[in-house]
Structure 1
Amino acid sequence: MTEPHRQRPLEGLRVIDLTRALAGPYATLLLAGLGAEVIKVEDPRGGDLARDNSPYVGRDGISVEKVHDDDLSVSHLTRARGKLGVSLNLKAPGATDVFLDLVRSADIVVENFTAGTADRLGIGYAAAKAANPRIIYCSLSGFGATAPEGGKAMDIIIQALSGAMYASGEADAPPVRIGIPIADMLAPVFSVIGILSALEQRHRTGVGQHIDVSMLGALTSFVAIENWSAMAAAGMQARTGLTVQRLSPFGVFECRDGFIALVAVHEKLAQGLFRAMKRPDFADDPRFATRDARVANAALLEANITAWSCGLSVVDAVAALEAEGVPVAPVRHPDEALLDRRVIERREAVPVAHPSYEADIDLRTAGVPIVFSDADTGFDDVLPIRIGEHNDRVLVDTLGYSPDRIDDLRARGVI
């Protein structure tokens, strides 16, 4: 919970969350962390796909398989934080009426169905706009609402299609999947940028609009920041592996007990690296004396760096480079990275726990990595443990439904 005297930037806004899995739920998680009230809509016949993601946390701690009814997927526990949960079978007669009532009460809708699905269900932008012209409606899909070819898009599919997978790894090695779901995480960030931009425009115009973000477009836009065709024309290697030879020396180098990452691109940094290696003569060697020369002879230079670093522990290599002012860091396991006091103090990585049981390990997950001078971030103390956890709270308090109407919706399988 946030301090009572520091508001969050999006307080007072309401979001109807039709998303599931990761990309969409991460977008609405960011909005919740920035203060918006998020109402997460789940199908009563199973709910969000993330509910069935292993591992689980519960009364027996962490487990690969769900053992007890109140075991929670860690994925659901982290992605549904700060959200109110309602159940709604969008295919049932009468469900559209409930959805449109939610839209009338809201500022934002976010959905990540396959392109065209929301319209077929009668819950697309046209229907939402007719109910509430001020609504900002964000569609996050694999290929965009206007793509000639649709289909389901998973993170690994987008990594493959965007070229990101090919860009990672050594020249003669297979493609490398980026170890975090980068497409699933990047597209929702652009979605939130679009939503906040549309909110600002709505302040001027009084009307909302449709925002269309594709996972493929988001990740491809990042791949495109590199000059692939220019590098190919210059005979430079596109696949970088552990090092980036067009910036040499720049990359990851092996030590006796691990790896370090270093950057010594500019003259001052390169000379610091040479001193740390006890090879100050490299500064006068025509093969390494200038930035262009170092790039032209990158393979030889990197072999020399590796020969030096392999003889040292990570701690000693880092100390030697830091003493010469060379940017360097140990390559850490994610568990260690999440315990960095800098990210903990800034609440960029935060603890998370089952609401009823203590875990025997320190579970940490993503916070909101933005620090405001006069506002706060953080999540309301709500979580849809069960599907439809907050049905009565939302349908009665927000929409004004009577108990009889709610009973009727349940009896007809709408909620």
Structure 2
Amino acid sequence: MTDRERPLEGLRVIDLTRALAGPYATLLLAGLGAEVIKIEDPRGGDLARENSPYVGRDGVTVERKHDDDVSISHLTRARGKLGVSLDLKQPEAREVFLDLVRTADIVVENFTAGTADRLGVGYEAAKAANPRVIYCSLSGFGATAPEGGKAMDIVIQALSGAMYASGGPGEPPVRIGIPIADMLAPVFSVIGILSALEQRHRTGIGQHIDVSMLGALTSFVAIENWSAMAAAGMQARTGLTVQRLSPFGVFECADGYIALVAVHEKLAQGLFRAMGQPELSNDPRFANRDSRVANAAVLEETINGWSRTQSVAAAVAELEAQGVPVAPVRHPEDALLDSRVVARHEAVPVAHPNYTSEIDLRTAGIPIVFSGAETGFDDVMPIAVGEHNDRVLTSTLGYSPERIAALRAKGVI
């Protein structure tokens, strides 16, 4: 952290979330400077605590070997958050929750739709305690959908159409390799929260924000007009390339793959020169953009015929020399070490608080750079469930040691 203020300094978030989608939303808020109080069930805590792999005294392991081994998922998602344990099924826990809400600006939950209300910690209860509170519900299908139905990332990918937006004709559906639905919906949640904060500046009152994972991902799928492509007889699933923009896509080299874009005339001519075949610019099949699209399959095979004889480094050098946008296709481990993203804190180191690791563990930063503010995480993290109970209940709520001890004895915290 630096001395520069973060944009959301002074705001308090009560975090009822678990797994990935909700915790990523509150992670973004924490990295932008909000104080996040993460509430977990005293019996086991966040589901992500059980995600393999783990890191601890033996380094990185598939199975937990020691009590103080920590899931890397939890290590990354709980950064900058204070940890409080509450058994929300107990009436006294709900009282503690509402006391926290009275001090807060924002509440975020990602239970199945309807669950928060049944537990007595939904928007109506929060609003009654604090009319200024901004309450964000992030669920699979939205708060207005019928209750029930588990919304895991792969389920949302399947329902959104995203799995058939990748891959080639006749191929099985393709699961996107990152949890795209779990990551996209929380970004919309944060947009909604920040918008509601701005509106609260004018009205003085909060509101409920309802974000659907299915809606978020489907809205991205809908950016392409699939019906129009079908009506025009254009193949939508074209695998490693986008034939309606040809040449555009991933091509094979002797030792890997490259991604290139040569959509416009100048770029296409540069590609053909890099291939050592400038005469292709005069071939009627490739002489203009529409003809290249109409003959995309032939053009792509021609490009692959050249690129397969080249190393990745040689192909990139040739294409860059001709001004063609190109990049090697990298593995994630290499991408996270890119000096550009490291310098901008878009990928950051993460480590067990008590043990070192020989492996360079990296995770997501805050991919926003402000001219007059800083981003980053407070040096807190709930390694143990309820690690900051005493700190929060004492300093934030003013509870006495006797009251905290009584809550602990009853299993409320």
Compute the displacement of 1:219 (Å).
Answer: 0.2
What is the rounded CA distance, in whole Å, between the counterparts of 1:214 and 1:286 in structure 2? Answer: 48
Alignment of 1:226-237 (within 5 A): 226-237=224-235
Indicate the residue corresponding to 1:81 in structure 2: 79
Match of 2:28 among 22, 27, 30: 30
> Is 1:155 aligned to 2:141, yes or no?
no
> Is 1:3 aligned to 2:7, yes or no?
no
Compute the displacement of 1:233 (Å).
Answer: 0.4
Gaps of 5+ in 1: none
Q: What secondary structure sits across from 1:251 in the alignment? A: strand
What is the rounded CA distance, in whole Å, between the counterparts of 1:311 and 1:3 in structure 2? Answer: 50
Q: What secondary structure sits across from 1:41 in the alignment? A: strand
Indicate the residue corresponding to 1:93 in structure 2: 91
Match of 1:125 among 104, 123, 126: 123
Indicate the residue corresponding to 1:378 in structure 2: 376
Q: Is the 8 A contact 1:17 1:111 kept in 2?
A: yes
Q: Is the 8 A contact 1:143 1:150 kept in 2?
A: no
Alignment of 1:247-262 (within 5 A): 247-262=245-260
Indicate the residue corresponding to 1:58 in structure 2: 56
Alignment of 1:12-411 (within 5 A): 12-148=10-146, 150-411=148-409
TM-score, normalising length from structure 2?
A: 0.99
What is the rounded CA distance, in whole Å, between the counterparts of 1:156 and 1:187 in structure 2? Answer: 14
Compute the displacement of 1:90 (Å).
Answer: 0.3
Compute the displacement of 1:382 (Å).
Answer: 0.2
Q: Is the 8 A contact 2:42 2:386 kept in 1?
A: yes
Root mean square deviation of aligned Cα: 0.6
What is the rounded CA distance, in whole Å, between the counterparts of 1:109 and 1:197 in structure 2? Answer: 14
Q: What secondary structure sits across from 2:202 in the alignment? A: helix
Q: What secondary structure sits across from 1:94 in the alignment? A: helix
Compute the displacement of 1:118 (Å).
Answer: 0.2
Aligned length: 413
TM-score, normalising length from structure 1?
A: 0.99
Question: What are the superposed Cα offsets for residues 57-87 of structure 1, whole Å, 9 maximum, x if unpaired?
Answer: 0001000000000000000000000000000
Q: Is the 8 A contact 2:114 2:147 kept in 1?
A: no
What is the rounded CA distance, in whole Å, between the counterparts of 1:148 and 1:412 in structure 2? Answer: 35
Compute the displacement of 1:240 (Å).
Answer: 2.5
Q: Is the 8 A contact 1:242 1:251 kept in 2?
A: yes
Question: What are the superposed Cα offsets for residues 282-341 of structure 1, whole Å, 9 maximum, x if unpaired?
Answer: 111110001000000000000000000000000000001000000000000000000000
Question: What are the superposed Cα offsets for residues 92-125 of structure 1, whole Å, 9 maximum, x if unpaired?
Answer: 1311100000000100000000000000000000
Q: Is the 8 A contact 1:140 1:215 kept in 2?
A: yes
What is the rounded CA distance, in whole Å, between the counterparts of 1:192 and 1:303 in structure 2? Answer: 44
Gaps of 5+ in 2: none
What is the rounded CA distance, in whole Å, between the counterparts of 2:156 and 2:244 in structure 1? Answer: 26
Q: Is the 8 A contact 1:277 1:308 kept in 2?
A: yes
What is the rounded CA distance, in whole Å, between the counterparts of 2:232 and 2:208 in structure 1? Answer: 42
Stretches (4+) displaced over 4 A: none
Compute the displacement of 1:149 (Å).
Answer: 5.7
Q: What secondary structure sits across from 2:363 in the alignment? A: strand
What is the rounded CA distance, in whole Å, between the counterparts of 1:394 and 1:366 in structure 2? Answer: 27
